[in-house]
Amino acid sequence: MLDGFVKAAAVTPDLKVADPVYNREQIVKDMREAAGKGAKIIVFPELAITGYTCGDLFSQRLLIDRACDELLETAEATADLDAIVFVGCPWLHRGKLYNVLAALSQGKILGMIPKQNLPNYAEFYERRNFTPGFADPDIIYVTDDEGNEDEIPIGGNILFECEDYPDLLIGAEICEDLWSPNPPSTAHALAGATVLINASASNEAAGKASYRRNLVTGQSGRLIAGYIYTSSGIGESTTDIVFGGHRMIAENGVLLAEGARFENGITYSEIDVDKLIGERQRNTCFLPEEKESHMIVPFSLNVSETELTRTIRRNPFVPAGITERNERCEEILQIQSNGLAKRLRHIGCRNAVIGISGGLDSTLALLVTVKAFNQNRLPLEGIQAVTMPCFGTTDRTYNNACRMAESTGATLKEVPIREAVNQHFRDIGQDPDKHDVTYENCQARERTQVLMDLANQCGGIVVGTGDMSELALGWATYNGDHMSMYGVNAGVPKTLVRHLVRYYADTCGDEALRETLLDVLDTPVSPELLPPQEGQISQKTEDLVGPYELHDFVLYYMLRYGFPPRKIFRLAALAFRGEYDQDTILRWLKTFYRRFFAQQFKRSCLPDGPKVGSAAVSPRGDWRMPSDGCARIWLDQLDML
């Protein structure tokens, strides 16, 4: 459970209907296998001890008594396991039969959760055999073989709290409870439960699995919780219906793992409880109720490092699937262009000025500006695409900038700035052969001055090109490319910029523009402020500040979830295994934190610009940080690594 990760196992065991002895043997076998692979929470289906499809055999006292005996034996088998196990079983209480889920740990039954919503429609006839469960806990007295009497709570409002890691608080419901208008899991989450489980016996029907999947992921997202779901499978009676053993593990609306249907087995993943706690902390609409509404039953687990099997994606800002990625790219382009279009309409502006370098960011900004002008039905000639060649400009980027302006219909304007910068060098006494930060920033600020003055001439606005990754690292010249009247890329991380340009290239329908965009994508990221070497770009940004894919990875988990550096390092080492060694990751992680804290003053006075995803650095929105905040404790943790 180090770093908040808890391994979960959703199990569909082999079983025989009305054979609790065989079923107990299979349950014990599977729970030992799951615990052996590090699972701390192990969930079996509804009525797993007997099978769900016993029908009127549930009225046979022999079956109920034997099921009780086998459940007690199953509990004893957990004595040497470092896990909490949930097993479905029929249980007779005060003269009524209940469909319960028993929590087992350290050789004991910790508590029982009765099913509250019993379906009695279509193919279901549960009220024929069972009584609806109750919420307020009652007490069951169970005597073991040695005559010792245990008090076991039974009721819907019971939560199981890990003594060694109190943030792990587990609530349970059974099958139909989730399908009801007011699932018990809602109350569990509001009482503090971070992980919810559902032991089910949901039969298969065409289209039902998709709906079931939406229920599980939707409930986990609505409640900002982990959700472990497992259902009965092969072995249940097929007299009228078939069970597919659907197994799912979800976290805050995301499906982490799903087992193959119509195959019994075990599905594993790790739930990040720390992430859930952080999300609830930030969500002001998640208002917990007092824990007093529930009985809290403690259990114990060893806190150890969990081997991660869940997917840690290298580019968390970018959807993995091509279909979803294309949809997201179109959506983001619409957000960017609509933001700019509204600004243009509000100020009655028919002209825009944008500096184009032939690089990725200015390319995206130009494409967005074209979309905004089309939305406002403005002539594209009103876009001044300005190229400002200087000491570091290469033929490749210059030609791409010119071709892009021509292909999009913008007005190309060339303003060489070499002489203006040299004059400025003479004015301030800068040696032009000294390629320091002054040498570079003089060019950036001269370009911004040209753009601002051109905007004054035409009554337009300057469209900013800098992206969110550059803003996070402070890789922008203060009052240079840092400044504009509207920054369309301010919410777009560098790794996503590339996909947006690629998507535009694939969908624009203009072969000349497409070829230019593909060449831009193939060009190294560079501010082009230092002279080229043999006509090639000599200044590559990622050689100086580090790989953007690493920085975007850190940015996502730091801003979105508030993860500490140690946890981000652990995730990055897994995500980039085979790409970067741990020393390289650690080196650039330190660079990120040093720059992020030192450069906040640039983000504190950002121009307006649209948020497009779940994280942003605008001081008016997601990220309000003092410009003189200290990085010490973050860097100290990295030094300890």
Residues 404-417 have pLDDT tens digits of 999 999 999 999 99
| Per-residue H/E/C for 396-453 | HHHHHHHHHHHHHCCEEEECCCHHHHHHHHHHHCCCCCCCCHHHHHHHHHHHHHHHHH
pLDDT of residue 487: 97
Q: Which DSSP state fits 536?
A: B
Q: What is the residue whose two structure tokens read 């900038």?
A: 401
| Per-residue H/E/C for 94-132 | CCEEEEEEEEEECCEEEEEEECCCCCCCCCCCHHHCCCC
pLDDT above 80 (res 535): no
Percent of the chain with pLDDT over 90: 90
Mean pLDDT value of segment 499-525:
93
Give the residues across from 93 on adjacent strands: 96
* Of the candidate ranges 51-65, 172-186, 195-209, 295-309, the one whose mean pLDDT is the lowest: 295-309
Q: What are phi and psi of 336, to 5 degrees?
A: -60, -50
pLDDT of residue 530: 77
Residue 73, burial from CB neighbour count under 10 angstroms (0-12, 13-18, 19+): middle
Cβ atoms of residues 277 and 224 within 8 Å: no
Residues 440-496 have pLDDT tens digits of: 999 999 999 999 999 999 999 999 999 999 999 999 999 999 999 999 999 999 999
Mean pLDDT value of segment 367-379:
98
Query: What are the structure tokens assigned to 152, written together?
Result: 């076991």
Global confidence as pTM: 0.90
Q: What is the residue whose two structure tokens read 């180090």?
A: 2
pLDDT of residue 291: 63
Domains, the chain, ordered by start: 2-299 (3.60.110.10), 322-640 (3.40.50.620)
pLDDT above 80 (res 536): no
Look at strands 108-114 and 96-105 and give their pairing.
Answer: antiparallel
Mean pLDDT value of segment 379-389:
97
Cβ atoms of residues 162 and 192 within 8 Å: no
Average pLDDT across the chain, whole number: 94
Query: What are the structure tokens assigned to 367, written together?
Result: 């494409």
Residues 85-128 have pLDDT tens digits of: 999 999 999 999 999 999 999 999 999 999 999 999 988 999 99
Give the residues across from 130 on adjacent strands: none
Mean pLDDT value of segment 342-351:
97
Nearest Cα to Cα of residue 244 among 230, 257, 262, 229: 262
pLDDT above 70 (res 538): no
Look at strands 254-258 and 158-162 and give their pairing.
Answer: unpaired
pLDDT above 70 (res 366): yes
pLDDT above 80 (res 526): no
> Would you please indicate which residues are annotated as catalytic (active-site) residues?
46, 115, 175
Residues 591-641 have pLDDT tens digits of: 999 999 999 999 999 999 999 998 999 999 889 999 999 999 999 999 998
Give the residues across from 353 on adjacent strands: 384, 462
Q: Grade residue 249 by pLDDT with cuts at 50, 70 and 90.
A: very high
Query: Dihedral of the CA atoms 186, 153, 82, 8 (nearest 10)?
Result: -20
Residues 548-593 have pLDDT tens digits of: 999 999 999 999 999 999 999 999 999 999 999 999 999 999 999 9
Sequence-distant (6+) residues with CB within 8 A of 112 are 91, 98, 100, 101, 102, 103, 140, 152, 153, 154, 155, 158
Cβ atoms of residues 358 and 396 within 8 Å: yes
Sequence-distant (6+) residues with CB within 8 A of 185 are 171, 173, 177, 178, 193, 196, 198, 219, 223, 225, 227
